[in-house]
Amino acid sequence: MESTSQLREAIGKIIRKIPKELVFDSHYIIDTLIKDHSDVYFDFIRQNSGKARDVNNKIAKNIGHCGLAVKKGDSLSYTIHWKANKCALWKRK
């Protein structure tokens, strides 16, 4: 699916800008997608369920599939709806 490849490309661009010594969570990637790659984010929503929560879970799974980061555990972070939620914690390879 083209939107998935565009999403992974955008995720890769975001991850490559993160210094290797820092960790980041999935919500950081989602927020940065919305801020800097909104067309890719909204295309992905349209071509999937259309519900932000479901799509953001798919985005979080794609962080690991892009091959640039490894999961280090979980963190507590705010969603785009300002709800505190468990979130995957990542480190750039």
Q: Which residues contact 2 (CB under 8 A, 6 or more apart)?
A: none
Q: What is the pLDDT of residues 65-79, one digit of tens each?
A: 989 999 999 999 988
Q: What is the pLDDT of residues 12-67, one digit of tens each?
A: 999 999 999 999 999 999 999 999 999 999 899 888 876 777 888 888 889 999 89
Domains of the chain: 2-92 (1.10.10)
Q: Which residues contact 65 (CB under 8 A, 6 or more apart)?
A: 8
Distance CA 27, CA 30 (A): 5
